[in-house]
């Protein structure tokens, strides 16, 4: 084999052992024979596999099983009922003139100088003025004894219950007046000897007994029958509830469920849990109620001339005052029906009669058993020349009903009488027969029992695993903003204030307004016609334009301040005629019994002025009242005239 450069060598297959192969090293060439080279052998057999590697780690544990359902709650235990208490506190006073006779004539106030027994009603023994409380209903009675009429032939007095401030009669119908007269003044009549009425004041009010008409003077006797009795007939009832029962104890928790097994598989489900059932709630106590004291007062408005025989019925033709539904009047027959299972007090009187040397007596009559009941009222003309005396007065009866009962007021005995009521020796208005019927006892009121104790809660079942989270709830609507304290802040948007808002500093309204939709305010205008002294503008004389906040009472012509502060007051009126005498209209404020003039309109005699008006700003406390009164002359109050009040701050 010839020498070759390495780069020139090609693959030699099956070389000869004597062949020489050149080897170049560092620029020198060396030779090596093939015999000195190892010849590549055939491939050997594969070696055995190595040992198996370590196993991979276990997979993660499966998820826990779902929780078991909760058990039902245990039933609640029964609770006992409690008992409530009630207290009834009616107001009353019994007063009289005990020392020194009092000389009286027209416009004299009767001075009762001793309070014998009282509760809740006060008497000024120097002035004879009683103080009543608003919204309470009273039975008011006054009776006088007399001597020494200055005119022994024609002398008489008429007395009535009046407002102590304005001297206006509490009952303008006249049926409540009392009369005293000289013994021989008129032999053909007999008149009521007491002043009696049922009355409910709208505000705290002072009243007195006053002589409203007279001929001459007379002495009111002391220590002999001159008395006043006032009693509340609709007392309040206070009910105190019992205490609530204590709550029952919670039940024991149930056993937890077993956990699922670990491993590459899923965990087993958790055991079921359940609460025991809740105990049944205890029964509630008894409901509360109260007894309503029913009352009915009725009368006639004309003289009765028919049926004037023994056993004849006095026919009451109208209902004057009615409270409750236990008493009813048939105005055609004059008969009165009472509900069952109650006790009633009934009083009645015929104030006077017409007839020469006449006599008549009256008494209550039970139609169910055809029998007279209670006490008679016996009356006689001074010239009757009877053998014995009579004292007149009231007929009274007390009856307890066991079923629906019908009563009437009947004539027991009569002679020489041609008419009852309407005595023409006096003003005939309000001089006619009347009656008063009232429930004074009934079944006891119901009372509330106390709430019973709660029953013991049932045993809780075992707890299951927690369930998945629920979806987020819907966001609640925005609440109303509440402004508490603001210092140096500018706000925009709406501000609704419920309750009180106290501002230190000032409020600037750039645009918009501050509104008070319930600001106390009213306006009335005239219904037309003449109004004479002494009359408060009210009722049929006024027409309500608006009454915001309902502080104006049109029936009695009074505005009562519900908020303390400043009020704008306005009034416009017209004189009744340019040729009339002088006249006045005055707006007065009553603050705790102190009367002050706020506005006065005044016309001179033969005035040339017609409509005039006045205005002022009045400061009022809560409960103060305003009213417009004609104290002098006559004025016209029609659609061009008005009276208004508005709260301004």
**What six digits make up the tokens of 69?**
């359902």
Q: Residues 195-220: pLDDT tens digits? A: 999 999 999 999 999 999 999 999 99
Neighbours of 412 (CB within 10 A): 17
Q: What is the reported pTM?
A: 0.36
Is the peptide bond between 357 and the residue preceding it cis, with omega within 30 degrees of 0? no
The answer to whether residues 576 and 638 touch, using CB atoms and an 8 Å cutoff, is no
* Domain pair 88-238 / 295-441, same fold: yes
227 vs 474: which has the higher pLDDT: 227
Query: 10 Å Cβ neighbour count for 167?
Result: 14
Tokens of 453: 């104790």
CATH classification number, 88-238, choose in 2.40.100.20, 3.40.50.720, 1.20.120.10, 2.60.120.40: 2.60.120.40
Nearest C-alpha neighbor of 162 from the set 212, 118, 123: 212
Annotate 95-117 with b (16+ C-beta within 10 A) or e (fewer): bbbeeebbebeeebbbbbbebee
End-to-end CA distance of the chain: 137
User: What is the dihedral sign for C-alpha 160, 162, 168, 172?
Assistant: negative
Alpha-carbon distance 97 to 112, whole Å? Answer: 4
Counting residues of the chain whose pLDDT is more than 90, the rounded percentage is 50
Q: Is 70 exceeded by the pLDDT of residue 447?
A: no
Instruction: Report the C-alpha gap between 282 and 286 in whole angstroms.
Output: 13
Pick the closest to residue 430 from 110, 197, 180 (CA basis).
Answer: 197
- Token pair belonging to 272: 């079921």
pLDDT given at position 185 = 80
Query: Could you tell me where the beta strands, DSSP code E, fall in 164-310?
Result: 178-181, 194-199, 205-215, 218-220, 227-232, 237-240, 295-299
Q: Read off the tokens for 456.
A: 């013991």
Report the range of poorest mean pLDDT among 35-39, 46-50, 331-335, 556-560.
35-39
pLDDT for residue 470 is more than 90: no
Please check the confidence at residue 110 and state whether its pLDDT lies above 60.
yes
CB 545 within 8 A of CB 554: no
Distances, alpha carbon 573 to alpha carbons 229, 524, 530, 586, 618, in Å: 41, 12, 11, 11, 20
Q: Look at 87-91, 157-161, 333-337, 615-619 and tell me which has the smallest mean pLDDT.
A: 87-91
Whether 527 contacts 637, CB under 8 Å: yes
pLDDT of 644 higher than 50: yes
**Beta strands 146-147; 227-232: pairing state:** unpaired
Listed in sequence order, the residues at least 6 apart from 443 whose beta carbon sits closer than 8 Å to its beta carbon are 291, 341
**Structure confidence by residue, pLDDT tens digits, 41-55:** 444 455 566 555 555
Query: Does 285 score more than 50 pLDDT?
Result: no
The Cα 110–Cα 578 span in angstroms is 39
- Tell me which of 75-79, 314-318, 379-383, 392-396 is least confident: 75-79
Going by C-alpha positions, the residue among 467, 359, 451, 379 that lies closest to residue 69 is 467
Report, at the CATH architecture level, how domain 521-647 is classified: Sandwich (2.60)
What residue segments make up the domains of the chain, in order of their start?
A: 6-34, 88-238, 295-441, 521-647
* Three-point CA angle 178, 180, 184, nearest 5°: 145
**pLDDT value for 49:** 60
Query: How far apart are alpha carbons 209 and 160 in whole angstroms?
Result: 6
Q: Pick from 195, 207, 212: which is nearest to 106 by CA?
A: 212
CATH no., domain 295-441? 2.60.120.40
Burial class (CB in 10 A: 0-12, 13-18, 19+), 373: middle
Token pair, residue 51, equals: 């040992």
CA distance 484 to 74: 47
Mean pLDDT of the chain: 79
Report the range of poorest mean pLDDT among 229-238, 368-377, 521-530: 229-238
At residue 459 the predicted structure's pLDDT band, cuts being 50, 70 and 90, is low
Distance in angstroms (rounded) separating the CA atoms of residues 406 and 181: 37
């Amino acid at each position: 084999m010839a020498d070759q450069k390495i780069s020139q060598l090609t693959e030699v297959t099956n070389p000869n052992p004597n062949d020489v192969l050149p080897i170049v090293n560092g620029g020198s060439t060396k030779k090596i024979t093939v015999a000195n080279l190892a010849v590549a052998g055939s491939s050997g057999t594969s070696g055995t596999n190595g040992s198996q590697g370590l196993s991979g780690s276990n997979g993660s544990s499966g998820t826990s099983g779902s929780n078991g359902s909760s058990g039902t709650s245990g039933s609640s235990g029964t609770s006992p009922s409690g008992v409530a208490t009630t207290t009834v506190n009616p107001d009353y006073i019994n007063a009289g003139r005990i020392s020194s006779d009092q000389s009286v004539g027209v416009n004299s106030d009767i001075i009762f100088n001793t309070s014998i027994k009282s509760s809740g009603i006060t008497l000024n023994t120097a002035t004879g003025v009683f103080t009543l409380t608003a919204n309470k209903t009273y039975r008011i009675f006054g009776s006088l004894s007399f001597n020494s009429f200055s005119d022994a032939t024609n002398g008489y007095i008429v007395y009535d219950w009046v407002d102590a401030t304005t001297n206006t009669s509490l009952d303008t119908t006249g049926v409540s007046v009392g009369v005293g007269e000289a013994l021989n003044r008129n032999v053909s009549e007999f008149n009521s000897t007491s002043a009696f009425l049922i009355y409910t004041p709208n505000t705290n009010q002072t009243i007195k007994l006053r002589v409203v008409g007279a001929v001459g003077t007379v002495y009111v006797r002391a220590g002999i029958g001159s008395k006043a009795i006032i009693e509340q007939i609709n007392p309040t009832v206070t009910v105190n509830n019992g205490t609530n029962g204590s709550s029952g104890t919670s039940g024991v928790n149930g056993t937890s469920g077993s956990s699922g097994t670990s491993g590459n598989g899923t965990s087993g489900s958790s055991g079921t849990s359940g609460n025991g059932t809740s105990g049944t709630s205890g029964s509630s106590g008894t409901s509360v109620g109260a007894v309503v004291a029913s009352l009915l007062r009725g009368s006639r408005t004309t003289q009765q001339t028919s049926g004037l025989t023994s056993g004849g019925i006095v026919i009451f033709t109208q209902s004057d005052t009615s409270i409750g539904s236990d008493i009813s009047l048939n105005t055609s027959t004059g008969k009165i029906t009472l509900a069952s299972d109650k006790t009633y007090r009934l009083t009645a009187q015929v104030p006077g009669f017409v007839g020469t040397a006449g006599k008549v007596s009256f008494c209550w009559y039970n139609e169910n058993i055809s029998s007279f009941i209670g006490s008679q009222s016996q009356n006689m003309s001074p010239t009757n020349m009877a053998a014995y005396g009579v004292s007149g007065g009231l007929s009274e009866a007390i009856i307890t009903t066991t079923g629906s009962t019908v009563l009437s007021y009947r004539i027991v005995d009569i002679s020489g009488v041609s008419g009852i009521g309407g005595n023409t020796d006096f003003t005939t208005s309000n001089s006619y027969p009347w009656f008063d019927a009232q429930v004074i006892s009934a079944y006891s009121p119901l009372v509330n029992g106390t709430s019973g104790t709660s029953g013991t809660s049932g045993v809780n079942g075992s707890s299951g695993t927690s369930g998945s989270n629920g979806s987020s709830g819907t966001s609640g609507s925005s609440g109303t903003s509440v402004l508490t304290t603001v210092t140096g802040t500018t706000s925009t948007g709406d501000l609704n204030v419920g309750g009180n808002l106290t501002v230190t500093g000032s409020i600037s309204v750039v645009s918009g307004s501050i509104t008070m939709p319930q600001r106390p305010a009213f306006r009335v205008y005239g219904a037309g016609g003449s109004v004479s002294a002494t009359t408060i503008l009210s009722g049929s004389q006024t027409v309500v334009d608006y009454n915001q906040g309902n502080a104006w009472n049109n029936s009695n012509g009074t505005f009562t301040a519900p908020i303390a502060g400043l009020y704008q007051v306005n009034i416009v009126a017209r004189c009744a005629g340019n040729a009339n005498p002088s006249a006045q209209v005055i707006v007065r404020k009553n603050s705790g019994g102190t009367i002050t003039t706020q506005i006065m309109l005044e016309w001179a005699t033969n005035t040339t002025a017609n409509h005039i008006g006045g205005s002022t700003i009045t400061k009022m406390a809560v409960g103060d009242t305003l009213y417009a009164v004609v104290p002098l002359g006559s004025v016209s109050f029609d659609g061009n005239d008005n009276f208004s009040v508005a709260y301004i701050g």
